[in-house]
Amino acid sequence: MNAFLNSMCVAGLCWMALYGAASGTAWGGEHQFVRPPQAEAINKAIQEAYKKKDWAHMEKKSLEWIKLYPSDDAGYYNVACAQVLLGKKEDAFGNLTKSAELGNSDLKHLEGDKDMVSLHADKRWAEVIAKVKKNVEKHRINEKLSARRMEIMKMYYGAQFQQVSALCDAFLKENPDAPDILLYRAGCQAMLGKKNEAFQDLEKYIAAEKHSVTDLQAEKQLESLKRDSRFKALLAKANEKNEQLKAAQQDVKK
């Protein structure tokens, strides 16, 4: 489940606590997200509507919420909750499926939710449960990967470069789509005097299109590379890719 969510299941209640709903600021990993000012009012309205059993108003406010947070799996769950209580079975299944596709991993909440009982006999219920079970497994794997990432980071900034390089090798062999680990390994290679290997990792880091030019410029372990013309060329390539990504995003919005 999304790191911002805290599901609530009191006496089988359907409502789920929302993305960053506890305060004006939500936290995810090292990143801080300031909520739009209307978010708190919408969140309170959803809770009040549930308490008053005003399912139509709950649906309306939950739809407003997912316009603010289109990636919030709990938001779609709340829409589905209101819709099932309004007898909108087809719409409810659509939003339950969307919630699962966005990463809902709260299997206990879903299976114990009394408001969803009317959907259990439908074959689509089993399909939703199967998706959520997959998310539970992904969540478990991600927790393990997060622990390994934390170990690598601590050892890296503890200057244990030989050991970290080996840990990065093992991590990338199992999880090749990990640009942050590529950057750590490049730093290790640079500190170990392996400039060519470091540049190879930096090329892969930029090619992954999840790179940070700021991180490249600020990374102290890459200091020995910054006087090399190849580093300037990498920065130029990284900036060019960033501009291409921004342009592509603007085209999508149009």
The answer to whether residue 7 scores a pLDDT higher than 60 is no
Q: How confident is the model at residue 156 (pLDDT cuts 50, 70, 90)?
A: very high
Per-residue pLDDT of 184-235, as tens digits, reads: 999 999 999 999 999 999 999 988 866 677 778 888 999 999 999 999 999 9
Single-letter code of the amino acid located at 222: L
The answer to whether residue 15 scores a pLDDT higher than 60 is no
Mean pLDDT across the chain, nearest whole number?
Answer: 84
Contacts for 183 with CB less than 8 Å, ≥ 6 apart: 201, 202, 205, 215, 216, 219
Please tell me what DSSP assigns to residue 228. Answer: S
- Whole-number pLDDT of residue 6: 36
> Which whole-number Å values give the CA distances from 57 to 52, 60, 83, 139, 170, in the listed order?
10, 5, 11, 33, 52
Alpha carbons 84 and 82: distance in angstroms, whole number: 6
- Whole-number pLDDT of residue 240: 85
Give the pLDDT mean for 161-182: 94
- Token duo for residue 146: 């997060």
Per-residue pLDDT of 32-86, as tens digits, reads: 345 677 888 999 999 999 999 999 999 999 999 999 888 889 999 999 999 999 9
3-state secondary structure of 131: helix
Residues forming beta bridges with residue 34, ordered by sequence position: 25
Which position has the higher pLDDT, 175 or 254? 175
- Whole-number pLDDT of residue 173: 94
According to CATH, the topology of domain 25-137 is: 1.25.40
Give the pLDDT mean for 90-104: 95
- Whole-number pLDDT of residue 78: 94
Give the pLDDT mean for 114-139: 95
- Whole-number pLDDT of residue 5: 34
pTM above 0.75?
no
- Token duo for residue 96: 């339950």
- Whole-number pLDDT of residue 254: 52
The answer to whether residue 251 scores a pLDDT higher than 70 is no
